[in-house]
Structure 1
Amino acid sequence: MNKRIKLNVGEKGVLLVEGIGTFLLFQIINVILISNIGKAKLMTNLLTNWQSLIADKLWVVVVVLALEIFLTYLIVISVYHRMELDQIKRILQKTADDNLTKPVDIKVNQSLQSIVDSFNLLISNMNRRAEEQRQSEESKDELISNVSHDIRTPLTSVIGYLGLIESKNYNDLGQILKYTHIAYKKSQEMQNLVNSLFEYANVQHATSRLNMTKFDMAQMLDQLSADFELEANKRGMEIMVNSTPDKILMKGDTEKLGRVFNNLIMNALKYGKGATHIWLTAEKKDKEVVVTVANNGQPIPEDSLKHVFDRFYRVEDSRSKKTGGTGLGLAIAQSMVQLHGGTIAVTSDDEKTSFISHFPIS
């Protein structure tokens, strides 16, 4: 609740003295006017024919007294507002000295209240930006920590196996080839991580732009199905495409959207343990297109569903390491969907795990 500014004893005294002084001043002016009413009457007789009105001293006294009261009221209000303003200055200065962390909790007259409200808005915006800056710093520290961890592990293996070769700690050519193969695979892991980091940083950048073109979403899903058909067959899966209607025209950055569905399909292939089918479906509604990538594999644990789009999050760390996941694929997919003004969510139960994307038609 706001509270009104209360004047202290000294301020009330100043206000009272100024009010009384103003009233007495007008009383002196009144006496002077009445004492000179004869002269006024003479001048008026010469200039006008309002003798009867001017002769009525009571009317003159009433008018002058009303004018005195009105002017006294204006002066007193002016003095009061000035004291309010001084009080506001003191409170704002105290708030500024307290590092502008708390809003000013006062209620004043309407003309000054806008100043207080603007100052409180400034404090609110500063606090919000300070919190955003704090979260950004924490996010940056977390990113550095995760990247350092994910690079250190394969890099240690690369240095270790190449070190064995460098020190001639091997028995034959076959052992050398084994060491170099492991070092090569670990180097590929690091390259994948660096590429994913670059892609994630690029899509997160404030100046990231979309190359918008008109395309057929149904045709894009058919092409993706053909691209992953061989890989799916190797894993004992079948990719099925369904579109309603058969042709869905919309605008978007086809390169980035292709990357979104690539990541989602790869995620289904790698982590859909026990799956036999992957479904790619698109449905056009009134103002949006809904695209779903689903599989009937092992469900995602309920406590992990809210984290699957977090950077470097892995539902099963050992499995992701085995499959070469960087923990950035879904984070990149989410960022690219959001760049298109859309949203993406995940549901998972014993029947299906579905990644559902909503895109505005244009």
Structure 2
Amino acid sequence: MSRQDELGSVAHNINHMAEQLQQQLEKERQIEQSKMELITYVSHDLRTPLTSIIGYLDLLKTPKCQNEAERARFINNAYNKTQQLKKLIDDLFEYTRLTDGDIRLSFQEVDYHNLVKQIISEFEPVANEQQITILQDISPMPLLVHMDIEKMVRAIDNLLMNALKFSIRPGEIKVHLTAHVQEEQVILSIENVGKPISLEQEHQLFERFYKTEPFRYEYNTPTGSGLGLSIAKHIVELHGGRIWLEHDEGHYKFYMEIKKIHPL
């Protein structure tokens, strides 16, 4: 090899090393920025219900608070805020566990058909209180699916709660469960009608901490952490599946596909 070729090879290697170093620095910068965003969002979301709780407790401590009905209302409001705070903390804990790269799933063989029906039966009273009817179209064929039950229940709950928060009242949430045995796939879809969003908002829905306002606040639906759909996405992908949205002028249909199914 000529001296010129050797110099060219050295220069190429130096450039390659410089590019790798630049990529590593950019990755570290993004990680640091991500950490700062996490702290900022969490601090804001935790501060809001905590401030309300402190406010209600201060009111309860004042001598002027003598009316029992008023005291009961303050206690109930404070309790609701503590539940919201707990949900925020639970979501944050779950999100960090799912994204730390060392999560271990506990897979079991589960009848997906019965699991979905059970989740819906537990969800219906909450929906009925907010004038939402649950319509089911679930394949009658039992399906044995390998899944982490606890995490998959969390994912489905998050999709149902998302549909509830953003539905027009009175309204309906339609749940479909279909199987494609030949392709070893089962697809769960949850659809509702709500306020239309932009294409840009569609692309951001599964990002962490992304939130849009519930359709109507008078139904006392909390805004949540903005982690629900992101958590659902991580859970489904950990199961080797995928999750996506089809949206058309306020008609939302979320799909959750899981592979490796077997007929009983």
Give TM-score scaled by structure 2 length. Answer: 0.84
Alignment partners' CA distance in 1, 2:193 and 2:122: 21
Cα deviation for residue 209 of structure 1 reads 0.8
Alignment partners' CA distance in 1, 2:228 and 2:217: 11
Q: Aligned AA for 2:221?
A: T
- 1:211 maps to which residue? 106
Q: CA RMSD in A?
A: 2.7
Do residues 307 (structure 1) and 204 (structure 2) align? Answer: yes
Paired residues for 1:33-44 under 5 Å: none
Pair member with larger Rg? 1
Gaps of 5+ in 2: none
The partner residue of 1:294 within 167, 184, 190 is: 190
- Kindly provide the CA deviation profile for residues 63-122 of structure 1, in whole angstroms up to 9, marking residues without a partner as x: xxxxxxxxxxxxxx6xx34x6435655x4xxxxxxxxxxxx3xxxxxxxxxxx3xx5554
- 1:339 maps to which residue? 238
- Kindly provide the CA deviation profile for residues 278-314 of structure 1, in whole angstroms up to 9, marking residues without a partner as x: 2232322544424233234225413321111122222
Larger relative contact order, structure 1 or 2 (CA cutoff 8 Å, min sep 6) = 2
- Kindly provide the CA deviation profile for residues 38-62 of structure 1, in whole angstroms up to 9, marking residues without a partner as x: xxxxxxxxxxxxxxxxxxxxxxxxx
Do residues 356 (structure 1) and 251 (structure 2) align? Answer: no
Alignment partners' CA distance in 2, 1:317 and 1:142: 23
- 2:150 maps to which residue? 255
Do residues 85 (structure 1) and 14 (structure 2) align? Answer: no
- Change in 2 beyond 3 A, CA 1:137/1:179: same
Local SS of the residue matching 1:202 = helix
Alignment partners' CA distance in 1, 2:78 and 2:250: 40
Do residues 157 (structure 1) and 52 (structure 2) align? Answer: yes
Local SS of the residue matching 2:193 = coil
Local SS of the residue matching 1:237 = strand
The partner residue of 2:227 within 310, 328, 338 is: 328
Q: Aligned AA for 2:134?
A: E
- Change in 2 beyond 3 A, CA 1:128/1:86: closer
The partner residue of 1:237 within 133, 136, 148 is: 133
- Change in 2 beyond 3 A, CA 1:84/1:199: same
- Kindly provide the CA deviation profile for residues 234-272 of structure 1, in whole angstroms up to 9, marking residues without a partner as x: 3240330322x7133332212211111111112222222
- Change in 2 beyond 3 A, CA 1:289/1:122: farther
Contact 2:194 2:215 in 1 (8 A): no
Q: Hey, which of these two has a bigger chunk of helix by percent? A: 1
- Kindly provide the CA deviation profile for residues 166-196 of structure 1, in whole angstroms up to 9, marking residues without a partner as x: 3434243333333232222222211111111
Alignment partners' CA distance in 1, 2:197 and 2:245: 12
Q: Percent identity?
A: 32
Contact 1:239 1:278 in 2 (8 A): yes
Paired residues for 1:76-155 under 5 Å: 80-81=2-3, 84-85=5-6, 89=10, 91=11, 104=12, 116=13, 121-155=16-50
Paired residues for 1:29-68 under 5 Å: none
Contact 1:268 1:278 in 2 (8 A): no
Contact 2:173 2:192 in 1 (8 A): yes
Q: Hey, which of these two has a bigger chunk of strand by percent? A: 2
Gaps of 5+ in 1: 1-76, 92-103, 105-115
Q: How many pairs were matched up?
A: 256
Cα deviation for residue 346 of structure 1 reads 0.7
Alignment partners' CA distance in 1, 2:73 and 2:195: 36
Alignment partners' CA distance in 1, 2:38 and 2:180: 37
